[in-house]
Amino acid sequence: MRIRFWGVRGSTPTPDPRNSRYGGNTTCLEIRLNNDTLIILDCGSGMRALGKSLIGEFGERPIQGFVFLTHFHWDHIQGIPFFLPLYRRGNGFLFHSVLRGAGLKETIEGQMINPYFPVDMGAMGATRHFLNLDEKPVSLEGATLRSAPLNHPQGCVGYRIEADGGVIVLATDTEPGSPVHDRSVRDLARDADVLVYDAQYTPEQLTGEKKGWGHSSWLEGVRIAQESHAKHLILFHHDPDSDDPYVDGVVMTARKEFPNAWGANEGLMISLPDCTVSNSMKVGGGDRRVEHRYHLELPVRVLWRDQKGNAREAEGLAKDISRTGIYFVVPTDIHAEEPMQVDLLLPDAITHQGELRIRLVARAVRTGKVDDPLGTGPPSVGVGAALNLVAGESPVLPASPPRRTSD
């Protein structure tokens, strides 16, 4: 089973450069089973890019898919009118949701009636069917899907998909505090390989200004993952005001309590049951490309301040780098809440113009013990860090002047 995130934002799309790494499209996930069955979870603005990808993949071949909606707030349905496969004859989609008091078909089609959209769903050539679920498990094309009610204004459901030896749970737009719903989401997440969970607000916001808004926090996600024995936690439904460095900080804080926590970003791909993770990055117009990671072994000098504010430094090896991140190993733990300075050192043997130091600013997002990568005998620490978090952000520590510097 393969999972791909096409939209991870909550409430409203946010096409802002400050959100470029995590993405600004609202919620949409693609699930592809080993038998190539297509399942779509939620239809936010990320669905537009998914549709373009499917058209490119299938060409003239028909596209068949199963669509499951958590609820009907705009950020979860606004991609439907822009999903190109719906406009092609020969394609077919079966829409599912748990809806109380109104027809599913009428509710979905309602956002396209005059004067809200220039054409109605009658302009769509694809075959469309609508199924109103109860809470009993559903079997489809090699997968078992179960839903459960969540605590959200006007109602919402979470989904658990079991297929190909793996389990993914989507529990977004839910607020802790209702005993019935709290038990429901924990039961849904029981022993899941991947729990995708709403982390729109901080724990402090949930007890204050955002109480009753129907969303959750990283802290509740960690609690559910721990109590339900979920293997990986994906923090999801980022707030419109949560830019890349803010989400980085949330992920870093969550990992102190639950090391296998990640921040959902557009292009994140997970293969189950082995939880293999890969990524692609957004390019203008909704297209995608795989982010290149360059493997290397270069000396690195890291400068940071510890939790007491003391200046620290360590030398080690950089192992790989991409546009947005770097991975290096050093012989000591790095506990840094603030950005650190990372100097890559290119020796004269490579540059033939003296030592070249490339100075970067990064924030640690994960650390882990590694066995003897430096060849010095004792175990060292591997550090994954995000680069270029804030435009104009300066290192907090001075570095020894190199012969030649490129910033």
Confidence bin at 119 (pLDDT 50/70/90): very high
Is the pLDDT confidence value at 178 over 90? yes
Instruction: Give the other-Cβ count within 10 Å of 1's Cβ.
Output: 24
Q: What is the architecture, at CATH level 2, of domain 292-406? A: Beta Barrel (2.40)
The rounded mean pLDDT for the chain is 86
Query: What sign results for the dihedral spanned by CA atoms 73, 79, 82, 86?
Result: negative
Alpha-carbon span 16 to 30, nearest angstrom: 23
DSSP state of 390: S
Say if domain 2-289 classifies as CATH 3.30.70.100: no
What contacts 115, CB < 8 A, 6 or more positions away?
none
> Which of 27-36, 204-213, 277-286, 314-323 comes out lowest in average pLDDT?
277-286
> Which of 202-206, 231-235, 380-384 comes out lowest in average pLDDT?
380-384
Which tokens is 204 given?
A: 């402090």
Is the pLDDT confidence value at 192 over 60? yes
Which tokens is 353 given?
A: 């113009």
Q: Are 381 and 334 in contact (CB under 8 A)?
A: yes
Residue 375's pLDDT is what? 47
Residue 283's pLDDT is what? 34
Q: Are 24 and 11 in contact (CB under 8 A)?
A: no
Alpha-carbon span 341 to 319, nearest angstrom: 16
Is the pLDDT confidence value at 280 over 60? no
Residue 364's pLDDT is what? 81
Of all helices (H) and strands (E), which one includes residue 148?
strand 143-150
Confidence bin at 371 (pLDDT 50/70/90): low
> In percent, how much of the chain has pLDDT > 90?
57
393 or 235, which is more confident: 235
Of all helices (H) and strands (E), which one includes residue 303?
strand 294-305
Is the pLDDT confidence value at 320 over 50? yes
Give the phi and the psi of residue 348 in degrees, each rounded to 5: -60, -30
Q: Are 303 and 313 in contact (CB under 8 A)?
A: yes
| In the chain, domain spans | 2-289, 292-406
